[in-house]
Amino acid sequence: PKQPVKVLVTGAAGQIGYAIVPMIARGLMLGPDQPVVLHMLDIPRMADALNGVRMELVDAALPLLRGVVTTSDEAEAFQGVNFAVLIGGWPRKEGMERKDLIAKNVAIYKSQAAALQQHAAPNCKVLVVANPANTNALVLKEFAPVVPAKNISCLTRLDHNRALGQIAEKLGVHVGDVRNAVVWGNHSSTQFPDASHATARTEHGERPVAELVADEKWLSEEFVSVVQQRGAAVIKARKQSSSLSAASAACDHMRDWVLGTPKGTWVSMGVYSDGSYGVPDGIFYSFPVTCEKGEWSIVQGLQIDDFARSKMELSANELDEERSMAYEFVST
Ligand code: NAI
């Protein structure tokens, strides 16, 4: 039997936290044969709520769950963890500028970087969910220089899954039969959801989505904007942001990273750019990746046309701006 691994969830008393901890403790993130010890961090004001979640985990009688640590102390939270899912952060309030949001979260991620570097297990894999996710991941990387950049990632899998969902609905096929959409760029409304490499399994074999949809306008306009705006649409409908789908996507992201992507299938992950596809390095950018033996690698050689190129640049430019803002606050 496998030894338990330690999984940290920050912001564990929040909405996504509440959705994800039972998923992790049921093996949806690391596999049905992998026991886990959950470390849950939230701010002191949330201590009671966090304890309530701990009580519910006990009450759920989860055989894979071998222990729960609840704390508001970063050092204790990061102690010995093998996986860290960073969901905790300062939420965007109405009327709040992006700059203010970045300032608040830079402070949090700077401090958590120190805890990660000092206390986590060697080779700890990190997934940043909290927004601005790409830039929080960058701050984490900058302030945890000993942690290899390849071990830090941010969540764009929700956007990727949304893209698959839209294609499946459009074609009237099962979502499990659609693969290889790509989300490029920032986890924000400048992201570029790209269906031009996607395929779907049909009774006539696996075919390009573009050919099956046969509607250029839908692919380049409606599909793109529906995926970009999906988060806002869920908030409008639910009066709360997407938490079930975000938690589910975070499990998909970690599971594929650790256990590997199926042959011939790629997924989207926000990773530290190595300059692939002409994306500037020095930013966390969402790329198509495959994973094997716990390592991701960017899918190479996809054709990028002028339309895609301009969308990809727009999102890279936004990330460059976010980086400049973040560095302003870091240096003060
Ligand atoms: P929430 O507000 O319900 O939960 C956030 C939790 O973080 C709260 O319990 C809060 O007390 C805690 N927190 C704040 N500062 C903290 C700190 N320094 N250390 C530890 N915990 C801290 O928000 P929700 O809905 O769970 O969303 C969490 C984050 O995920 C937000 O930033 C949201 O924008 C982002 N998000 C990202 C998605 C993605 O695809 N990358 C998708 C959906 C949400």
Q: What does each C-alpha distance from 305 to 47, 196, 197, 298 come to in angstroms? A: 51, 10, 12, 18
CA torsion angle for 315, 317, 323, 328 (degrees, to 10)? Answer: -140
Which ipTM did the prediction report?
A: 0.99
pLDDT mean over 25-36: 98
Of all protein residues, whose CA lies closest to atom 38 belonging to ligand 1?
129
Q: Ligand 1 pocket test: which of 9, 109, 129, 191 has the largest number of ligand atoms within 8 Å of its C-beta?
A: 129
Report pLDDT for 180.
98
Q: What is the DSSP letter of 9?
A: E
pLDDT digits (tens, 9 = 90+) for 259-314: 999 999 999 999 999 999 999 999 999 999 999 999 999 999 999 999 999 999 99
Query: pTM above the 0.90 mark?
Result: yes
Q: How far apart are CA 305 and CA 156, in angstroms?
A: 22
Q: Ligand 1 pocket test: which of 42, 71, 136 has the largest number of ligand atoms within 8 Å of its C-beta?
A: 42
Among all chains, which residue has been given the structure tokens 């049905």?
32
Q: Which residues contact 46 (CB under 8 A, 6 or more apart)?
A: 13, 14, 72
Q: Provide the annotated active-site residues.
A: 187
Dist. CA 14 → ligand 1 center (Å): 6
Confidence of residue 331 (pLDDT cuts 50, 70, 90): low
| Residue 126, Cβ density class (10 Å: 0-12 exposed, 13-18 middle, ≥19 buried) | buried
Dist. CA 89 → ligand 1 center (Å): 5
Q: What does each C-alpha distance from 48 to 13, 67, 91, 131 come to in angstroms? A: 9, 18, 20, 24
Q: How far apart are CA 119 and CA 41, in angstroms?
A: 14
Q: How far apart are CA 153 and CA 12, in angstroms?
A: 19
Helix 98-119 / helix 306-331 crossing angle, nearest 10 deg: 70
Report pLDDT for 48.
98
Q: Percent of the chain beyond pLDDT 70?
A: 99
pLDDT digits (tens, 9 = 90+) for 128-145: 999 999 999 999 999 999
- 14 close to 50: Cβ distance less than 8 angstroms: no
Q: Can you read off the two tokens belonging to residue 80?
A: 């010995």
pLDDT digits (tens, 9 = 90+) for 140-167: 999 999 999 999 999 999 999 999 999 9
Average predicted confidence (pLDDT) for the chain:
96
The atom number, within ligand 1, closest to the CA of 159 reads: 40
pLDDT digits (tens, 9 = 90+) for 45-92: 999 999 999 999 999 999 999 999 999 999 999 999 999 999 999 877
- 283 close to 319: Cβ distance less than 8 angstroms: yes
Q: How far is CA 324 from the centre of its chain?
A: 22
Longest dimension (CA), the chain: 60
